[in-house]
Chains A and B, each alone.
Chain A
Amino acid sequence: MKNVKIDVKQITRVEGHGNISVRIRDGAITHLELAIVESPRFFEAFLRGRPYHEAPHITCRICGICSVGHTTASVRGIEAACGITPSEQTILLRKLALFGEHIQSHVLHLYFLAVPDFLGVGSVIPLARTHPDVVQRALRMKKLANDLCAMVGGRHIHPISLQVGGCTHLPREAEMREMKERLADARGDLDETIRLFRELTFPQLDRPTEYVSLRSNGVAEYALYEGDIVSTLDPRPTSPQQYRTRVREEVVRHSAAKHCSSPNSSAYAVGALARFNNNAAMLHPAAQTAARQLGLTAPCHNPFHNNTAQLVETVHAVEASIELLDELLARGLAPEPLARPTHFGTGVGAAEVPRGLLFHEYTVNDEGDIEAANLIIPTGQNLANIEEDMRALVPQLLATGVDKESMTLHLEMLVRAYDPCISCATHFLNVRWED
């Protein structure tokens, strides 16, 4: 197979619209693109002039799947810009909602979007007939995660009560007790999921790249809600306020989402595998056991194992949520007024959302209105790296003599392994404020 033409229009089982196109002539790649064809939405343009407290409410509408993640980065960015310090209670509740979203998003990706490839079907729908126990387990875990988000934020998609300065609704004690029991009951489903994933055969690809994520400063915690920027090539911590020293953005014509590079690499990876590679030692012991059972050790350079890292993180999020609920139940929740701005200026919020590191930077003027916003999305950061992976995978597949159909499937599986969120990635193009 010397000459190959692959065109996948609208890759399925991903969030948003993307195309793969590859041309191979005489056994060499002459053209390779992951084209992003999603509509631009201009969030950064129309945030201008809106009052600061609307930012999380508007930006969560960037993405239905990562709605809590955008809310988290947004409240933290606005709070950094306005000198607001949220209470400890608020931080604990935000962390709980973010765990809920990680569980929800990872379970959705693993069972609904990724597993069908490994079981040779086009979607989860035929599995409802052939593997009803698997589908019911997936639905049970997803519902639990949705309910966890809803308990804190009112609903998973576009949460309501996670606001700048605090929470406008508190879960009741009975709700938290019931949630804790349900999370404990989910351990059986997690064990079954680990058993299922141990049996799957992942495609092989070993391509070291730079893995970028947050790392907790101070406390020994697997960083999701907060931390400093680190990477496998440069482990020195950088404050999110200086993110521009670690992340460089570039507009490329075939992608409605910008590509990213770092001072160390032309392409780098964010997401579950990046977090695992940087912070595996800080995972909950149960998640470390899960990683061992799944044969995942840091550093892992096979992007297909982003799936595996997501499963390990799901175990972590369930166990950490149980511990967090214990803490909340022990301290009790009391209504608090929203913390108010102490000044207005520029600030950055960084959070680890299911697909990786997310930045929201805002400048707020003296009237309390947003003057400028810059949002850097995990999938945007991964796009250049996915293309590099594709460039490494194609010759490897050619050497093994696979047919075009199999090559196409492998490329789609590779893109899916990153769990790309294309709606998110395209809303932020070439954003340089010209005013």
Chain B
Amino acid sequence: MKPRIAVFSLTSCEGCSLAILELEDQLLEILGAVDIVNFREGMTERSWDIDVAFVDGAVSTPHDEEEIRRIRERCRTLVAIGACACLGGVNTLKHDPARPDYRRVVYGDRADWFPTTRARPLSAVVKVDAELPGCPMVKEEFLELVRCLLNGREFRLPPNPVCTECKKLGNPCLYERGEICLGPLTRAGCRAICPSFGSVCEACRGLVDGEALRAGREAFNTQYVVPWEEVVARLRLYGAVSENAEPVAAPAAGGGS
């Protein structure tokens, strides 16, 4: 039997759901291999008998929280797609400790008309089986994940930072232009698309793990000479680190800035 696929959106731009519809070369093949049973943005029929649910968006309202719990109960495999679902995304910018008045600024005295909570990744509320990070998610990674699910293979994100992909492409390093790029800390898999089109990496895919992260931090200290607080502030754009969190311990002996 073909796996039953659903696509849901919580608080987001729905760009990652849209990215599925932008797989023009593969869409008909995908439709042959799976049954899409619930996808509000694209179809009227709605079933809750689901094998794999793809969810974009952050959990940012009481309704989002109910919805993600319901989705979790009704599906076997839950895949978070995009920066909002994996990290909280730009929605987390509302938590700026220096500007706690965001609700009043937008709603004035009517804040209670439209309830909202902290913006969180799906994994903060329910168990998530796989994550496809990025703002938007990378379509090729989505295809690879679908292939893995169909063939029972394990899906893995690349462990290396964006810098390695960027260098392979022969892009001039943006530090030579005096810009602050987060490529040394950010998980690869996007083919360094932002530096390739003249923009710095903004860490929409989240941080690399363990040793690679420590090496990246060391590079900021010794090679790029950017104050760590500045780096951490920039890592907040898509929620790669949450406010007040320390993403990685300072390097030992003489490290820190």
Contact = CB atoms under 8 A, between A and B. Distances in A.
B55 to A, nearest CB: 14
Contacts of B96: 46, 49
Interface in B98-121: 98-99, 101-108, 110, 113-114, 116
B188 to A, nearest CB: 17
A229 B8 CA distance: 37
A72 interface: no
B146 interface: no
B216 interface: no
A143 interface: yes
B249 interface: no
A206 to B, nearest CB: 27
A61 B13 contact: yes
A146 B24 contact: yes
Interface stretch (A150-158, A220-228, A283-291, A295-303): A150-158
B44 A45 contact: no
Given A42-B106, A158-B135, A423 B27 contact: no
Given A45-B94, A169-B196, A430-B108, 20 more contacts: A12-B42, A13-B40, A16-B9, A39-B61, A39-B64, A40-B106, A46-B94, A46-B96, A48-B105, A64-B14, A67-B15, A122-B43, A122-B44, A125-B43, A128-B31, A139-B24, A142-B21, A154-B197, A160-B199, A434-B108
A63 interface: yes
Chain B, interface size: which category?
35 or more
Interface of B: 9-19, 21-22, 24-25, 27-28, 31, 36, 39-46, 60-61, 63-64, 89-91, 93-94, 96, 98-99, 101-108, 110, 113-114, 116, 135-136, 193-194, 196-199, 202, 237
Contacts of A108: 21
26 contacts: A13-B44, A16-B14, A40-B106, A40-B107, A40-B116, A41-B11, A41-B90, A42-B116, A45-B103, A46-B102, A48-B105, A49-B98, A63-B15, A64-B17, A67-B13, A125-B31, A128-B28, A146-B24, A154-B194, A155-B136, A161-B198, A161-B199, A163-B199, A167-B198, A169-B196, A423-B12
- Binding site secondary structure of chain B: mixed
B198 A168 contact: yes
B44 to A, nearest CB: 4
A331 interface: no
Given A153-B197, A434-B105, A65 B18 contact: yes
A272 interface: no
Contacts of B64: 39
Contacts of B15: 61, 63-65, 67, 157-158
A41 B135 CA distance: 16
A205 interface: no
B90 A61 contact: yes
Interface in A392-419: none
In this complex, the member of B21, B36, B197 whose beta carbon has the largest number of chain A beta carbons within 10 angstroms is: B197
Contacts of B24: 139-140, 142-143, 146
